[in-house]
Amino acid sequence: MSNQPILVTGAAGFIGFFVARQLMEQGHEVVGLDNLNSYYDPALKQSRLDILLGEKGFHFVKADLADRNKMQALFAQHNFAAVVHLAAQAGVRYSIEQPHAYVEANLEGFINVLEGCCHNACRHLIYASSSSVYGANTKLPFSVLDNTDRPVSLYAATKKANELMAYCYSHLYRLPVTGLRFFTVYGPWMRPDMAVFLFTKAIVEGKPIKLFNHGKMRRDFTYIDDVCRAVTSLVSRIPANDAASDGPPAKIYNVGNSHSEQLMHVVALLEKELGRKAITEMLPMQPGDVTETCAEVGELAHDAGFSPSTSIEDGIAGFVAWYRDFYKV
């Protein structure tokens, strides 16, 4: 790529933490940005950040994506070779309670990243989208060629907007952009608001776990190590202009395991690893949720050699081992 640094936004977050570490292992200098907000326990973010701060080649900037002046100054100062934009206000359910947080972080923040990239000669923007953009789509597996104009949550709508904004900037300024639709990423250091973490904590504490749609849900669980390999392999894989259609240098990939798991199977694996039974509370479907996700990943496999190799059994074992160690249970 070059000796110029790579910006990783959301570096104290789950995926950002792993991506920043792997990029440094590959010899890149990394500038990590995070606002360390309190959407979930800031102590977990700080623990991730403390590890990064101990690594050679890591520089931390505490800033909010929506702070236009700070973002302009950051891009002007560093002249980033590439940007891996993973910071966002996450969570489907929270977007119903706090919609303005999603507009500020995911829309205002994203336009500041796009502006920074195109006015400071950034050679590649990789940004996080989400499997939630598929919304009410019922055709499985989900393909990047599927229609995605029926979001069922504001979070999904902001992620779809990110894809459209990125395409627009790629068209106008020939900025190479790669969007990644992540499918239920899990593993050590994961966010505490996600199902695997919530279930583990409840089982350990002897509290009931909430199973929506009466547990009849399937998810394409994707282990963090597999996701991290995909993201870092794409940094130097810069999209080219589509000569046939005169299209812009813009790509979108699904990043998933291409196999959906029954939620009840995941609960059973957690019970086995934790050595205790879950207390279950069966509930109806939640607003903004979908019953099943499954990724078609052929294009990512073809372009970047993506081949997820972590089974759900090994992945759950890896997460529980980390949870036991980190929380001393």
User: Whole-angstrom Cα distance, residue 309 to residue 253?
Assistant: 18
Residue 209 and residue 200 in contact, taking contact as beta carbons nearer than 8 Å: no
Cβ–Cβ under 8 Å, residues 21 and 55: yes
**Spatial CA neighbour of 303 closest among 226, 223, 233, 221:** 233
Q: For every residue of 217-267, which 3-state class applies, written as one string?
A: CEECCEEHHHHHHHHHHHHCCCCCCECCCCECCEEEEEECCCCCEEHHHHH
Residue 172, token pair as written in the block: 């106008």
Q: Of 242, 222, 177, give the one whose Cα is nearest residue 315.
A: 222
282: left (phi over 0), alpha (psi -120 to 50) or beta: beta
d(CA 104, CA 88): 9
Active site residue 155: yes
Catalytic residue among 155, 186, 223, 253: 155
Q: Retrieve residue 175's tokens.
A: 């900025």
Ordered alpha helix ranges (H), the chain:
14-25, 42-53, 68-78, 94-97, 99-102, 109-119, 154-173, 195-205, 224-235, 263-274, 298-304, 312-327
Catalytic sites, residue numbers:
155
